[in-house]
C-alpha cells in the first residue's frame, strides 16, 4: 500500500513539473508592422521631385528599415533589417516572445547612388545593448534630402493574447534647404552671373559644433551628441567658377539633414583664382571667411529650414522655412534686409555730430585727408556705398562746419527705400519739408530741440546734414 501511495505522489509531482516548464516556454506571437511612408510629409519640395527615390536626376535611393527589440534589461532579443525601393513599403517583424516587457527601436535611413557615387549617410553600431546603441553620421557630403534619419521607439508588453503593433517612423532630423544664388544682382556680371563667379574657385558653407550622433544610454528616448567633424561641419560645397564656365543654372539647390540643436549659426569660406582677390575684396586676399550668420536656428525634428547665400552680396542668411513664401519673394526680402543692414552700418558714423566741428576735428574722426579743397569746403573719398564726403564751413578759417554732404553710390529703388527707412529709425521725420523726391528729418524730437536738419535727395543721390542753429 505504501508503495502504491508513493508511486501516485511521484506521478503527480512529475506531471506538475512538466506543466510548469511548459508554461514558461510558451511564446505568444506578436506581429509588428513598420513603415516610414510619411517621413517627408512635414517638408515641402522646391522643384517637386526632390523626395522621389527613383527615376529623377536626384539619384537612385533605397529605404533601410531596422527593428531592434530589447528586453527589460536592455539586451537585444531580436533584430530585423530590410531594404526597400519605395517609401510605401512595410516591414513585418514576426516575434515569438516570452511574456514580459520589451522595447523596440525602429530606424529608417537611406542609401543609394548620386552622380555615380555611392552614399550611406548613417551607421548603426553596438545594437546588442540599448545602453550602447549608437547611430553616427558618415563624413561624406551629399546635398540630398535622403540624408533624413527617422527613429521611433515604443515600449510594449507581451501577455496571454495576440497584439499586433504598427509603427510609423517620423524624422528625428530637421531638413535644411540650401540655395546658392550666383545671379548678377549688381548689373556688373556676365551672362546673368555675379561678377564674383568667374574668379571664385570654390566656396564651402560650414557650421560649428553640430551634433551628429544619436545615443540612448539605456532609455528609449534618443539623445544627441557631437561627432568627429563637429568643429568644421560642411553644409555645402560649390564652385561658382565651374558653374559660370559651363553656363549652368545660376541657382544651386541642396539639402542637409541636421539633428536637433539650439542656437546654430553658419559661415562660409572661399578661395579665389590666384591674384583675383586683389580686385574683389578690400584686403586683397584670395582666401576669405565670413562672419557667423546674424540669426541662428533652433533645429527641431521634422521642421524645415532654408539657407540662402547671395554671391553678389557675399552674404549668408538662414531662417525657418515658410512654404507660403516662394524662393523669389524670399530673395527680395533678404535683399531688403541686406540693403538696410549695409546702409545702417554706413550711417552709424552719425554724420550730424560733425556739423559745427572744425576741419581738424572732422579729419581726426574720419581718419581721412582731403583730396579736394576750396576756400570753404573739403572733400574726402568715402567707403562702401558712400562715394564722397563733402564738408562746407562758415568761412575760410574752417573752424565751424555748417553742412556735411554724402554722395551715395546706389542705383536701385530698394536701396533708396532702405536709406529712407534707416533715416526714419535714426532721426525724426519732418513732413513739412518733405516732397516726393526729397525726404526731410531733424535730429531732435521737435524743431526747437533739433540742431541739424537732414535732407535725403533721391534725384541727386545726396544726403545733406545742415545746421539749423
Burial level of 15, CB count in 10 A (0-12/13-18/19+)? exposed
Q: Is the pLDDT of residue 279 over 60?
A: yes
State the pLDDT at residue 301: 97
Q: Is the pLDDT of residue 3 over 50?
A: no
State the pLDDT at residue 31: 85
Q: How confident is the model at residue 209 (pLDDT cuts 50, 70, 90)?
A: confident
Q: What is the DSSP string of 286-302?
A: SEEEPPPPSS-EEE-TT
> pTM of the full predicted structure?
0.83
Laid out side by side, the sheet with 165-168 consists of 90-97, 28-35, 165-168
Q: Are strands 304-310 and 174-181 parallel, antiparallel or unpaired?
A: parallel
CA distance 248 to 258: 28
State the pLDDT at residue 349: 84
pLDDT (tens digit per residue) in 290-340: 999 999 999 999 999 999 999 999 999 999 999 999 999 999 999 989 989
State the pLDDT at residue 459: 84
pLDDT (tens digit per residue) in 436-468: 889 999 999 999 999 999 999 988 899 999 999
Q: How confident is the model at residue 370 (pLDDT cuts 50, 70, 90)?
A: very high
Helix 413-426 / helix 327-347 crossing angle, nearest 10 deg:
50
Q: Is the pLDDT of residue 23 over 50?
A: no
CA distance 338 to 410: 13
Q: Which three cell numbers stand for residue 257?
A: 539633414
Greater confidence (69 vs 96) lies with 69
Q: How confident is the model at residue 159 (pLDDT cuts 50, 70, 90)?
A: confident
Residues, the chain: 469
Alpha helices in 367-412 (DSSP H): none
Rounded average pLDDT over 168-190: 95
CA angle 400, 406, 408 (to 5 degrees): 175
State the pLDDT at residue 162: 62
Rounded average pLDDT over 177-187: 94
Q: What is the DSSP string of 256-285?
A: EEE--EEEE-EEEEEEESTTTHHHHSTT--
Rounded average pLDDT over 14-35: 55
Q: Which three cell numbers stand for residue 340?
A: 538696410
State the pLDDT at residue 28: 56
Q: Which three cell numbers stand for residue 112?
A: 543609394
CA distance 423 to 52: 49
Q: Is the backbone of residue 356 left (phi > 0), alpha (psi -120 to 50) or beta?
A: left
Q: How confident is the model at residue 5 (pLDDT cuts 50, 70, 90)?
A: very low
Amino acid at each position: 500500500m505504501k508503495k502504491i501511495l508513493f508511486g501516485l505522489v511521484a506521478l503527480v509531482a512529475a506531471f506538475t513539473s512538466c506543466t510548469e516548464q511548459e508554461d514558461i516556454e510558451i511564446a505568444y506571437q506578436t506581429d509588428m508592422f513598420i513603415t516610414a511612408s510619411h517621413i517627408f510629409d512635414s517638408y515641402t519640395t522646391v522643384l517637386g521631385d526632390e523626395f522621389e527615390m527613383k527615376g529623377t536626376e536626384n539619384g537612385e535611393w533605397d529605404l533601410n528599415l531596422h527593428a531592434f527589440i530589447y528586453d527589460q534589461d536592455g539586451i537585444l532579443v531580436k533584430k530585423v533589417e530590410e531594404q526597400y525601393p519605395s517609401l510605401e513599403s512595410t516591414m513585418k517583424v514576426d516575434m515569438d516572445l516570452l511574456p514580459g516587457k520589451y522595447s523596440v527601436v525602429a530606424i529608417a535611413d537611406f542609401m543609394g547612388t548620386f552622380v555615380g557615387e555611392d552614399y550611406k549617410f548613417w551607421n548603426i553600431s553596438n545594437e546588442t545593448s540599448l545602453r550602447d546603441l549608437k547611430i553616427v553620421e558618415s563624413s561624406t557630403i551629399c546635398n540630398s534630402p535622403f540624408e533624413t534619419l527617422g527613429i521611433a521607439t515604443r515600449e510594449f508588453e507581451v501577455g496571454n493574447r495576440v497584439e499586433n503593433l504598427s509603427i510609423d517612423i517620423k524624422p528625428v532630423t530637421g531638413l535644411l534647404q540650401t540655395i546658392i544664388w550666383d545671379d548678377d544682382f549688381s548689373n556688373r556680371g556676365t551672362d546673368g552671373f555675379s561678377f564674383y563667379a568667374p574668379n571664385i574657385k570654390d566656396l564651402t558653407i560650414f557650421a560649428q559644433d553640430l551634433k551628429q550622433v544619436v545615443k540612448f544610454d539605456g532609455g528609449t528616448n534618443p539623445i544627441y551628441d557631437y561627432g568627429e567633424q563637429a568643429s568644421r561641419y560642411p553644409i555645402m560645397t560649390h564652385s561658382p567658377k565651374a558653374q559660370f564656365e559651363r553656363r549652368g543654372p545660376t541657382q544651386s539647390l541642396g539639402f542637409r539633414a541636421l539633428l536637433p540643436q539650439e542656437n546654430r549659426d553658419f559661415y562660409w569660406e572661399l578661395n579665389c583664382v590666384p591674384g583675383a582677390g586683389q580686385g574683389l575684396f578690400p584686403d586683397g586676399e584670395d582666401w576669405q571667411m565670413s562672419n557667423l550668420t546674424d540669426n541662428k536656428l533652433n533645429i527641431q525634428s521634422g521642421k524645415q529650414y532654408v539657407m540662402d547665400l547671395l554671391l553678389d552680396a557675399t552674404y549668408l542668411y538662414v531662417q525657418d522655412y515658410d512654404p507660403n513664401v516662394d524662393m523669389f519673394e524670399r530673395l527680395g526680402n533678404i535683399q531688403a534686409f541686406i540693403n538696410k543692414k549695409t546702409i545702417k552700418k554706413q550711417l552709424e558714423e552719425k554724420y550730424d555730430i560733425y556739423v559745427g566741428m572744425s576741419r581738424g576735428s572732422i579729419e581726426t574722426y574720419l581718419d581721412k585727408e582731403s583730396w579736394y579743397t576750396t576756400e570753404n569746403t573739403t572733400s574726402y573719398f568715402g567707403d562702401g556705398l558712400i562715394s564722397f564726403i563733402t564738408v562746407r564751413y562758415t568761412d575760410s578759417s574752417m573752424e565751424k562746419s555748417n553742412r556735411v554732404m554724402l554722395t551715395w553710390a546706389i542705383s536701385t529703388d530698394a536701396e533708396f527705400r532702405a536709406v529712407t527707412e534707416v533715416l526714419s529709425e535714426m532721426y525724426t521725420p519732418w513732413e513739412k519739408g518733405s516732397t516726393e523726391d526729397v525726404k526731410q528729418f531733424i535730429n531732435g524730437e521737435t524743431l526747437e530741440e533739433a540742431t541739424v536738419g537732414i535732407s535725403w535727395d533721391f534725384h541727386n543721390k545726396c544726403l545733406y546734414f545742415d545746421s539749423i542753429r
